[in-house]
Structure 1
Amino acid sequence: MLVAVHARSGERVEASKHLPASPDYRCPVCGWTVIVKPGRVVVSHFAHRPAGPRCGAQGESIPHMRAKVLLAQRFREHGYDVALEEPHSGGRRRVDVAVTIRGRNGPVRVAVEVQDSAIAVGELQRRNHADKQAGFFATLWVFTTNRLSRARGSLPGAELRLPEEVRYLDRRWRLPVAVLDVQRERVMLVSTAPIIREGQPYYNEYGDEEYSPDRWLVATRQVHVAAATFELEAVRGRYATARNPDYTAAFKAAAVPDRPWRISSRRDTAHTTADIADPTDEPAWQLAQQLMEQGHTVELEHLPTARRWRHVARTNADDDFDEPGYQWKPV
């Protein structure tokens, strides 16, 4: 828990390293006394004193709290009005980060929800509806790399199995899904494309060759990961019409250079780099393999998101790969 209520003044207090200890801090959900943990090792937060009642504000993970603190800091750097863990609906719902942004007709409030673990689609919809009823313009869902761990290491066009809640948001808005890398302090946008497996040949009961129908994959999608800023904007939803103003909030995409990828190699004291447009094309593979065969240590970096890979020998080489025996391994 990052926010407590001061018993005497009634003011909301955010945990920090410099916040003095006091017996007057209370949990805004259950009213029990809480103590401030200054966060010398982990993020600063409040903890319930022993023997308190069961409370929905307890049991939050450290990565979840770090993600909320990072988002609040970056939003404030953009000049947004930010409130951490804002309660509504009689205390039954707490918005992780409430942000006020500029809308089409003036300021609007966005509920930013950090998701560090699995969540049922029904619960996600319930929170969206509760936020709308409380006056929020939209609920922006941000998944951490704990929840979408393989997204951080995905090269362009990689196939990734997506959780059900991510697939729901993709279908609902047809917009990239936001993924927060707390360690690198970056936010990424993961866009998806459907995958169709071609039908396979088989022989029917009469011995004639036929083909099975093409198959659309449900959970697995082709993904592309791009960089985003911490600036928010209102965007049109897929069902927007003149009579149905279907809008939501999203992170603004970051500017991308013409050659956003960098291959670097090291051998002894020699160090070389080459900026490229796409690490999956044939020239990039040939360059990496040539350097590996010359005894270089070869690394790949996506400059906008600071993600890195190392070119390593594949232990189980497969003829299905474009370059048998080698692969990019996330680091």
Structure 2
Amino acid sequence: MLVAVDSGVRVLALGAPRNGDYRCPACNEPVIVKQGYIKVHHFAHKRGSACPFAAKESAEHLKAKNFMARLFKNLGYHVDAEVDLELPMWADKEDRRADVLVTNQAGKRLAIEVQNTQVGISNLLARTRDYARLDTAVMWLPVLKMNAVITHDENGLLVQKYTQHAMETWMLDFIFSKTMPYYDASKDAIWMATRLPHRIEKESKEWYDSDGNYNSSAGYLYTSKRWIDLSLRGPFGSSQLKPVLKFRRASTFRNLPFPSATYATLVPLLS
């Protein structure tokens, strides 16, 4: 986890002194700050703890949260992580836990949700609606899975035969774009990924039928229904990006619902 409590004050593992009296914000057990050159800075429970916060978190998810905390801290935001936001009594869920919660000088909050695994559209929709009820903007950040054919193009990298799941399609449509940021844990950086159709070439053919007649068919290209291509621009470090916030109204697109909400995405500083 990225946050602990020291003398009643929430402290990020990023840059935390090693000699603090750190305790878990959930169970109040002592936790240890770990700050290595290879592993991401974090707090850890002692072995055998039954606290839910002690459950092992994937390295990719933890690194992505740390990256976003650094990015917004560099921009002058107040940064917190793993924050439980209390919903009204009438809400379907008691609270929401933001992976990273940042607040600007005007007091406006932004919840950053890192997605390292696929979740259903209903889950995304419910969480986005809840943040809107809490007057909190939301940013969805998927973790890039480099499990396809990778080549180079004029922007940087081209990931071919990429299987884009419904979750990612919803996130793109939510921000009215074909381009959105993906976190790459192997580089600890962000790629700006643009969705492109994947073209498949059908080769030309020549053959003779059973009567000895010559036949031929010309080759052609068709768009895959299974795969897309991702054109990746970057990679960008935490000091090379800035957030852009916009408001969108509720709508339905591709038979999928989208709530009224303020959303955020990242763009390179030069944009």
- Describe how 1:103-122 pairs up with structure 2 within 5 A: 108-122=108-122
Q: Deviations over 1:164-208 (max 9, x none)?
A: 121222233334121123454432210112346588999xxxxx9
Partner residue in 2 for 1:34: 30
Q: Is the CA contact (8 Å cut-off) linking 2:4 and 2:10 kept in structure 1?
A: yes
Partner residue in 2 for 1:53: 50
Q: Is the CA contact (8 Å cut-off) linking 2:34 and 2:41 kept in structure 1?
A: yes
Matched to 2:227, the amino acid is T
Partner residue in 2 for 1:128: 128
2:86 and 2:190 mapped to 1: Cα distance? 29
2:60 and 2:231 mapped to 1: Cα distance? 25
2:4 and 2:41 mapped to 1: Cα distance? 12
Compute the TM-score of the two structures, normalised by the length of structure 2. Answer: 0.69
1:127 and 1:245 mapped to 2: Cα distance? 12
Partner residue in 2 for 1:19: 18
Aligned-CA RMSD value: 4.0
Q: Deviations over 1:10-66 (max 9, x none)?
A: 3212224523253x61333xx241311332352332223355435156211233222
Partner residue in 2 for 1:188: 191
Matched to 2:190, the amino acid is V
Counterpart selection for 2:265 from 247, 250, 271: 250
Q: Is the CA contact (8 Å cut-off) linking 2:2 and 2:43 kept in structure 1?
A: yes
- Describe how 1:133-212 pairs up with structure 2 within 5 A: 133-137=133-137, 139-144=138-143, 147-150=144-147, 153-156=150-153, 158-164=159-165, 165-172=167-174, 173-195=176-198
Give structure 2 stretches of 5+ with no counterpart.
Answer: 88-93, 206-214, 252-258
Q: Is the CA contact (8 Å cut-off) linking 2:81 and 2:99 kept in structure 1?
A: yes
Partner residue in 2 for 1:292: none
Compute the TM-score of the two structures, normalised by the length of structure 1. Answer: 0.58
Q: Is the CA contact (8 Å cut-off) linking 1:235 and 1:248 kept in structure 2?
A: yes
SS of equivalent to 1:68: helix
The question of 1:67 aligning with 2:64 is answered yes
The percent identity for this pair of structures is 20
1:134 and 1:49 mapped to 2: Cα distance? 34
Q: Greater relative contact order: 1 or 2 (C-alpha under 8 angstroms, separation 6 or more)?
A: 2
Partner residue in 2 for 1:78: 75
1:170 and 1:154 mapped to 2: Cα distance? 23
Q: How many residues align?
A: 241
Q: In the superposition, relative to structure 1, how do residues 171 and 154 fare at CA in structure 2: closer, same or farther (>3 Å)?
A: farther
Residue 225 (structure 1) shift? 1.4
Counterpart selection for 2:241 from 219, 225, 230: 230
Q: In the superposition, relative to structure 1, how do residues 131 and 160 fare at CA in structure 2: closer, same or farther (>3 Å)?
A: farther
Counterpart selection for 2:97 from 87, 94, 98: 94
Q: In the superposition, relative to structure 1, how do residues 59 and 159 fare at CA in structure 2: closer, same or farther (>3 Å)?
A: same
2:246 and 2:197 mapped to 1: Cα distance? 22
1:193 and 1:238 mapped to 2: Cα distance? 26
1:101 and 1:194 mapped to 2: Cα distance? 38
Give structure 1 stretches of 5+ with no counterpart.
Answer: 203-207, 257-331
Residue 248 (structure 1) shift? 2.0
SS of equivalent to 1:84: strand
Residue 247 (structure 1) shift? 4.6
Q: In the superposition, relative to structure 1, how do residues 246 and 20 fare at CA in structure 2: closer, same or farther (>3 Å)?
A: closer
1:56 and 1:5 mapped to 2: Cα distance? 13
Q: In the superposition, relative to structure 1, how do residues 63 and 197 fare at CA in structure 2: closer, same or farther (>3 Å)?
A: closer
Q: Deviations over 1:93-134 (max 9, x none)?
A: 3212112358xxx66322112223333333333332332233
